[in-house]
Structure formats: structure tokens, C-alpha cells
């Protein structure tokens, strides 16, 4: 990795601005990183609405079993399984990844490192097009004969491998194909992020001058590239088992169903960090800006992140403690799993320490960033229960697990995305969002969120197991108190979904007649704030910036102003 300034590599734009497609095609066939970011962003937001609708349907079924859910109808067991399976798949692969990594990675990396585009603009466009195909394939799989795949997002064989068992022959294969295509899209995107960060930085920008959010997205892309290979191999074998009747996972023919679990979780655990790191990067950048503080320990943060990433490759079997692996293995994987609490705690401490001595402004983006920290801590500490093998015997596959990972993924995918969206909205659209509406939306999301998942922790402690469409067959889970908790969670979800209307209203109204943002409304240091809002094609109408210092020189004692843009000489 270059520690000295890398000569800026000028990116060819294929002159499509002048000679390329016109009209609506200009947006569809654009190779501009900002346009591709928007495509990813809006596709991700659309998929979030789909995933949220699914959550609404199955939470209604859980709270009021057998009712005809308004806007869906009665939920059959097969439909229930398809809804929970695709809700999980969508929220991780078609919301968290496209929004946090692809949309903000595409938008921010060139702007924050002072490049005029990605290094491979056409590969970038191909990445989005494959991603769009994967999303359409997934949505189509819900409507084919037999219905959508219902074997959980983990897709364990033999259930996922044999049509006779899952009864969704076509849906299963389409689901798997969609996931595989999505991986191809993110491999192409990841290549671009890594290459661009390494080779296209503005003159003067050294490795430690790169804003942490860019580092985080690039480290996440590296983790993804290193972990996804085994899963793609596993998915190919699963696809063959499904379609041409091979026996990779069939014990009767020498295969092993547990092999899939190893391949899946070897990818699946690093995947958690793939989406976590961008959210942490977003959080730390916003906190530095609104606390007017230098990040406390930039290098510490960077090295800790790398350590977390490396460790994340050695913890996968904690998902399989009771899955029939050699019981001695559980001891090894418990130690590695609990070790990861050290770097993760370190990241949290660094974020908290950055607040110390600050001058904290609670604008909407800052509220989201702080909420990420406050809520993610709950996800973090509850993970220890599941990493401790002895406790996991009881908690495995209960609602405790479900509540735990929603306390990690919701802060990551939803809170992190809202933080980034509200923070960079002025840059992306040139207008300020309404802070009042933003705060109404913030509290209307955060408060119900806790009322959804705290009851689910309690249900999990009560022994409620996952992926059950109706608990009437389990007398100990069918008590009135348990239904009470399920209903609280459902009501809270309805409230939270209703408050999202405020967000969409705020977006549209702000975009339409919001106050002009100007170049740098938050008085931030990083390079994207030194160009116009929104930046034109090529990003830098006044010429490429030069970089003179790191990204977090807030409140420097030698200066009158409490910020010091990276491109300002002196």
C-alpha cells in the first residue's frame, strides 16, 4: 500500500456526456459514479420497502394468527416461510449491501479522495446492471409456481437442495441464482472501490489522510472478496443438487449437509462485518463533524478494524455449536468469538472517546450516528450470550438470536443508512432537509424499534423458537402473556412503518423546495464538501483538489475557524 502520495490517475469518461445516450437513457446508461450511486440507492430503498412490507405481513400473522392481513390476505405456512426467508435475504443482500457499500461507496469514494470518477466506470455500470437483474430475479421468484423459497436465508440443505422437501422447486433455484448474481455485482463493485482508493487519490493524499468511511468501505470490500469464494463454490454445488440431482449435500450418496453450513458461515460471519464497517465509518465521520473533534486515534481505529476483519474469518462455527460438529470444536470457536469482543469494544470506545472534549451539535445526522452507537451496543453485548457455547445451547434458534441480530443489523442497515442519507443529502441533491421533520422521523423510528425487539428478547428467553407461523401447537408458547408481547412488537412495527412516511415526505419536499445547501453546510473538512452541491459530472469544475492534511483537523488550536478543509493550503 502506498504511503506516499500517488500520482492522480485521470479517468477516461468515454466522452459520454456529450455523445452518449440522451433523455432517460442518460440516467440508465450513465457511467458516472454519482448516477450509479443513485441507482443503487433508489433500488435499495425500494427493496427496503418490500422487505418492510414482508415484516408487516408476518408480524401481523404472529400477533393475530389466522387473520386476513390487510393488503395481503390470509398467510399460509408456506407463504409465511417464504416471507421470513425473503425478508432476511432482501434486508441483507438487497438493502444493507447496496445502500451502505454500493451507493455510499460509489458516491463517496471518488469525491472524498478527490478523483473524478471510479477507475473502471464501465465495470461499475455493469455491477449495477447485474445487481438490478438479481433483484428482479428475486422478486420474480416470489410469484412462480410453488411460491418463493422458504428455507430461511441460510438455505440449509437438504431442505434447500431437494424440491420434494421444500416444495418450492423453481423458487429455490431462482433465489439461489439471485443471490449468486448479487455476489457477482458486488465483486465487480469491490474491485472498483479497492483499485480506486489505491490508485486515484488526489495529489498529496497519503494513506492516513483518507477519511475513515472510505477505508471502512474498502476493507469491507476486501473482506467480502476473501470470504465469498467458498460460498460461491457451495452455491454452485447446491444449484447442481437442486437442478441436476447431484449429491454434494446428500448423505445417502456420500455428501454432507453440514458442509454447506461451513461454507455458508465462513462467508456469513465476515459478511456481518462487511456491512458493519461502512456503518461504523459513516458514524465516526459524522460524529467527528458534529462534535467538531478530531477522531480519537485514527490509526488505532484503522488497525483495530483490520484486526476485526482478520479475526472474523476464524469464528464461523459459533453458528453451528449445536449443529452436529465435533463438540470439542465449540471450545475453540468460542474463544475466537469472544476474542472479537476486544477489537469491537475498542471501536466503540474510540467512538465514545471522540465525544470527549467536543462541542456536540445534535442535528439530525448526528442523532442517527449517536443512535447507531447506543443501539449497536445492545446488539454487541447480547452477542456474548450466543458466543458462550454453554448459554447458546438454550438460546440457539430462539427469538433471543433474532432480537440480537436485529439489534446489530437494524443499527447498521437502517440507522447507518439514515445517518448517511441525512448527512450527505445536501451534497447529493443540493438542498437542505428539514431538521424538524428529520427529528420527528428519527424519534418515530428509534422508539418503536426498541419496542419491537425488546419484547422479542423476552420471548426468546421464554423459549420461543424461530420461523414458526403459529404457536398454537406449543402449549407453553401459546399463553396470553406471550401473545401480549407479540402484539406489542407488531404494534410498534406499525408505528415505525407509519413514521417512514415522514421521511419520504421530507425527502420529496426538501428536494423540491428545500433551502439551497451551498458547498459545505456542515462545515466539514473532507473533499466532497469543497465542490458544488450536487457535484457536476467530473466532480471538480475548478480542477482536481490538492490535499494538505488529514480529514479530521477540527478545532485546531492554530486556527480561528473550528474546521480546516483538507484541500486548503497553509
Partner 1 sequence: MTPELLSTYAADIDNIILLVAVLTGFWFVAAEGVFFWLIWRFRAKPGVKSEYLVGNERHVMKWITWSHGLVLICDVFIVIGAVQVWYNVKQRLPEADSTIRVIGQQWAWTFQHPGADNQLDTPDDIFTVDDLHVEVDRTYHFVLESRDVLHSFSVPVFRIKQDAIPGRAITGWFEATGTGEHDVQCAEICGIGHGVMAARIHIEDSGQHAAWISSASAAQ
Residue 331 CA to its chain's centroid (Å): 30
Is residue 125 a contact partner of residue 151, using CB atoms and an 8 Å limit? no
Angstrom distance (rounded) from CA 81 to CA 167: 12
Instruction: Show contacts with partner 1 in window 348-367 (CB under 8 A).
Output: 348-350, 352-353, 355-362
- CB proximity list for 526: less than 8 A, separation 6 or greater: 112, 211, 285, 551, 565, 566
**Which residues on neighbouring strands pair with residue 431, listed in sequence order?**
516
| 462 binding partner 1? (CB under 8 A) | yes
| 81 binding partner 1? (CB under 8 A) | yes
Angstrom distance (rounded) from CA 355 to CA 372: 14
Residue of the chain from 467, 487, 519, 537 that contacts partner 1 (CB under 8 A): 467
Instruction: Show contacts with partner 1 in window 163-182 (CB under 8 A).
Output: 165-167
Inter-CA distances, 329 with 251, 320, 339, 470, Å: 22, 10, 16, 35
Q: Whole-number minimum distance, CB 557 to partner 1, in Å?
A: 5
Residue of the chain from 163, 297, 430, 538 that contacts partner 1 (CB under 8 A): 297
Is residue 527 a contact partner of residue 545, using CB atoms and an 8 Å limit? yes
| 299 binding partner 1? (CB under 8 A) | yes
User: Look-up: residue for cell 428529520?
Assistant: 438
Angstrom distance (rounded) from CA 136 to CA 324: 36
Angstrom distance (rounded) from CA 519 to CA 563: 14
Residue of the chain from 394, 443, 504, 505 that contacts partner 1 (CB under 8 A): 394
Residue of the chain from 5, 28, 126, 468 that contacts partner 1 (CB under 8 A): 468
H helices within 64-149, ranges in order? 77-89, 104-113, 121-141
| 536 binding partner 1? (CB under 8 A) | no
Residue of the chain from 339, 440, 454, 544 that contacts partner 1 (CB under 8 A): 339
| 473 binding partner 1? (CB under 8 A) | yes
Build a one-symbol-per-residue string for 223-262: x at contacts with partner 1 by CB under 8 A, - elsewhere: ----------------------------xx---xxx----
| 195 binding partner 1? (CB under 8 A) | no
Q: Whole-number minimum distance, CB 60 to partner 1, in Å?
A: 16
Inter-CA distances, 529 with 120, 354, 417, 425, Å: 24, 22, 19, 12
Residue of the chain from 10, 14, 515, 556 that contacts partner 1 (CB under 8 A): 556
Angstrom distance (rounded) from CA 99 to CA 192: 16
| 338 binding partner 1? (CB under 8 A) | yes
Residue of the chain from 25, 342, 501, 508 that contacts partner 1 (CB under 8 A): 342
Is residue 141 a contact partner of residue 171, using CB atoms and an 8 Å limit? yes
Window of 108-116, 151-159, 264-272, 489-497 that interacts with partner 1 by CB under 8 A: 151-159
Residue with smaller CB distance to partner 1, 151 or 190: 151
| 264 binding partner 1? (CB under 8 A) | no
Q: Whole-number minimum distance, CB 476 to partner 1, in Å?
A: 5
| 519 binding partner 1? (CB under 8 A) | no
- Number of neighbouring beta carbons within 10 Å of residue 520: 18
Is residue 350 a contact partner of residue 295, using CB atoms and an 8 Å limit? yes
Angstrom distance (rounded) from CA 128 to CA 130: 5
* Total binding residues toward partner 1, as defined by CB under 8 A: 100
Q: Whole-number minimum distance, CB 413 to partner 1, in Å?
A: 21
Instruction: Show contacts with partner 1 in window 9-68 (CB under 8 A).
Output: none
- Number of neighbouring beta carbons within 10 Å of residue 143: 10
Window of 92-100, 273-281, 395-403, 511-519 that interacts with partner 1 by CB under 8 A: 395-403
Residue of the chain from 195, 246, 500, 555 that contacts partner 1 (CB under 8 A): 555
Is residue 415 a contact partner of residue 371, using CB atoms and an 8 Å limit? yes
Kindly state the cell numbers that stand for 198. Answer: 489505491
Residue with smaller CB distance to partner 1, 19 or 328: 328
Window of 34-42, 120-128, 161-169, 510-518 that interacts with partner 1 by CB under 8 A: 161-169
Residue of the chain from 27, 29, 443, 474 that contacts partner 1 (CB under 8 A): 474
| 381 binding partner 1? (CB under 8 A) | yes
Amino acid at each position: 500500500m502506498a504511503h506516499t502520495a500517488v500520482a492522480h490517475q485521470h479517468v477516461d469518461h468515454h466522452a459520454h456526456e456529450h455523445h452518449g445516450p440522451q433523455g432517460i437513457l442518460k440516467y440508465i446508461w450513465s457511467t458516472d459514479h454519482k448516477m450509479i450511486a443513485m441507482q443503487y440507492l433508489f433500488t435499495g430503498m425500494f427493496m427496503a420497502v418490500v422487505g418492510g412490507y414482508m415484516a408487516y405481513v408476518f408480524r401481523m400473522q404472529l400477533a393475530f394468527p389466522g387473520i386476513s392481513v390487510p393488503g395481503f390476505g390470509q398467510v399460509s405456512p408456506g407463504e409465511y416461510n417464504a416471507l421470513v426467508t425473503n425478508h432476511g435475504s432482501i434486508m441483507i443482500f438487497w438493502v444493507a449491501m447496496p445502500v451502505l457499500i454500493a451507493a455510499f461507496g460509489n458516491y463517496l469514494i471518488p469525491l472524498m479522495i478527490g478523483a473524478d470518477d471510479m477507475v473502471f466506470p464501465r465495470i461499475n455500470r455493469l455491477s449495477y446492471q447485474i445487481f438490478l437483474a438479481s433483484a428482479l430475479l428475486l422478486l420474480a421468484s416470489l410469484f412462480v409456481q410453488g411460491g418463493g423459497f422458504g428455507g430461511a436465508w441460510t438455505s440449509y440443505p437438504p431442505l434447500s437442495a431437494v424440491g420434494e422437501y421444500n416444495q418450492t422447486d423453481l423458487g429455490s433455484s431462482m433465489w439461489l441464482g439471485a443471490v449468486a448474481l448479487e455476489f457477482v455485482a458486488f465483486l465487480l463493485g469491490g474491485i472498483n472501490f479497492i483499485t480506486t482508493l489505491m490508485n486515484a487519490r488526489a495529489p498529496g493524499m497519503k494513506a492516513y489522510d483518507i477519511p475513515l468511511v472510505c477505508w471502512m468501505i474498502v476493507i469491507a470490500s476486501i473482506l467480502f472478496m476473501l470470504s465469498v469464494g467458498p460460498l460461491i463454490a457451495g452455491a454452485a454445488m447446491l444449484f447442481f443438487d437442486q437442478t441436476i440431482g447431484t449429491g454434494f449435500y446428500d448423505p445417502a450418496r456420500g455428501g454432507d449437509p453440514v458442509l454447506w453450513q461451513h461454507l455458508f458461515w465462513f462467508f456469513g460471519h465476515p459478511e456481518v462485518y462487511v456491512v458493519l464497517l461502512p456503518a461504523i465509518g459513516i458514524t465516526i465521520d459524522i460524529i467527528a463533524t458534529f462534535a467538531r473533534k478530531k477522531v480519537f486515534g485514527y490509526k488505532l481505529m484503522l488497525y483495530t478494524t483490520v484486526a476485526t476483519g482478520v479475526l472474523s474469518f476464524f469464528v464461523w462455527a459459533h453458528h453451528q455449536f449445536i449443529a452436529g460438529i465435533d463438540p470439542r470444536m465449540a471450545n475453540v470457536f468460542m474463544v475466537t468469538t469472544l476474542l472479537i469482543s476486544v477489537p469491537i469494544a475498542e471501536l466503540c470506545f474510540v467512538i465514545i472517546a471522540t465525544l470527549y472534549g467536543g462541542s456536540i451539535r445534535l442535528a439530525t445526522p448526528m442523532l442517527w450516528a449517536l443512535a447507531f452507537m447506543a443501539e449497536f451496543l445492545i446488539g454487541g453485548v447480547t452477542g456474548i450470550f450466543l458466543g458462550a457455547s454453554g448459554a447458546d445451547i438454550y438460546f440457539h434458534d430462539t427469538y433471543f438470536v433474532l432480537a440480537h441480530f436485529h439489534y446489530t443489523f437494524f443499527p447498521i442497515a437502517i440507522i447507518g443508512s439514515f445517518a448517511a442519507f441525512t448527512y450527505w443529502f445536501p451534497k447529493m441533491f443540493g438542498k437542505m432537509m428539514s431538521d424538524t421533520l428529520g427529528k420527528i422521523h428519527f424519534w418515530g423510528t428509534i422508539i418503536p424499534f426498541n419496542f419491537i425487539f425488546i419484547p422479542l428478547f423476552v420471548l426468546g428467553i421464554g423459549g420461543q423458537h424461530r420461523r414458526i407461523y403459529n404457536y398454537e401447537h406449543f402449549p407453553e408458547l401459546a399463553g396470553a402473556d406471550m401473545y401480549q408481547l407479540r402484539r406489542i412488537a407488531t404494534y410498534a412495527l406499525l408505528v415505525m412503518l407509519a413514521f417512514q412516511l415522514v421521511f419520504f415526505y421530507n425527502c420529496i419536499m426538501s428536494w423540491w423546495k428545500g433551502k439551497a445547501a451551498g458547498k459545505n453546510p456542515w462545515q466539514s473538512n473532507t473533499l466532497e464538501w469543497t465542490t458544488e452541491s450536487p457535484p457536476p459530472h467530473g466532480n471538480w469544475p475548478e480542477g482536481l483538489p490538492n490535499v494538505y492534511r488529514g480529514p479530521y483537523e477540527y478545532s485546531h488550536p492554530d486556527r480561528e475557524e473550528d474546521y480546516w478543509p483538507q484541500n486548503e493550503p497553509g
